[in-house]
Structure 1
Amino acid sequence: SLGTEAQDLTRKLGEAGQSLAQARTKTTQKEEETHRLWMAAQGEVARLEQETSEMEVAAAEDMQGISGSPSAVVVAGIADIKGAIAEALAQEAALATTTENLEKDKNVELKSELEHTEQHYASEEAGYNGEEAVARELELQIQ
């Protein structure tokens, strides 16, 4: 009976360890996806900043051109690109918040799983110790 209890406890601890490993794998996958999204946002910001710079150069050249005034199309293009940059930066901030929340969720989930496993183990150990005490008492009575 004690050997069976020990095997049961070992099996349950193994299952808890597997569950914890699965939670860690899920968290790692979420972190990797968030990182990919963040990197894509960084690339988009860099691309938009480059386009803005090119448009500003074109506007400056246009200003020095024959007409002496900037083209309305170039000015509108610059405004559109600056708006897109602002949107990309807002998305980047949202991704940073998402990453932070994922980290908090991961920590809460792992801590909860660990506490549950520790409580379960303590409960099993208490039962095992109780059975062991009964077995010792029976041995003393037999002798």
Structure 2
Amino acid sequence: MDGLDDTIKIIRSTIYALHQRPSHEDTGLRARLVAETGQAAEALLGFTPALRMTSLPDTLVTDDVADQLLSVLREALANAARHAHATAVDVTAEATATHLRLRVADNGRGTDPASTRGSGLANLQARATDLGGTLTLTPNQPAGTVLHWAVPLPADNG
């Protein structure tokens, strides 16, 4: 039942995102996330990632933090395409009153725990650290990798 509920949430979020295709005037975070995943689908992946957005009012996330989030998403999607050879990717972006979180899960080859982080992952780590946040990579089941990127939001965010 929980799996079905999660699937319904993904479908609803995807439908909402499709209805919210960005216009030239629309530069909010939701629109920018939809645009970024759409560009990755066309240029890198060959399929559209599932995109779920939870509580992302633009008043919570400043432009500079939003820019960092989009850069992390871009790199994560590129990694899923180029290195993991994923055939499915699930993206979840969530803002609370205190944190912004990004989760990118793929079904690709996974990461080798013995290897050191390459420049792309080191860059993602630096983006998190610079904002006082964290980056973690964990195995996805049954295959692939889950990237978790989380940063605190300013207390006076609106």
TM-score normalized by the length of structure 1: 0.27
Q: Which has the higher helix share?
A: 1
Q: Which one has the largest radius of gyration?
A: 1
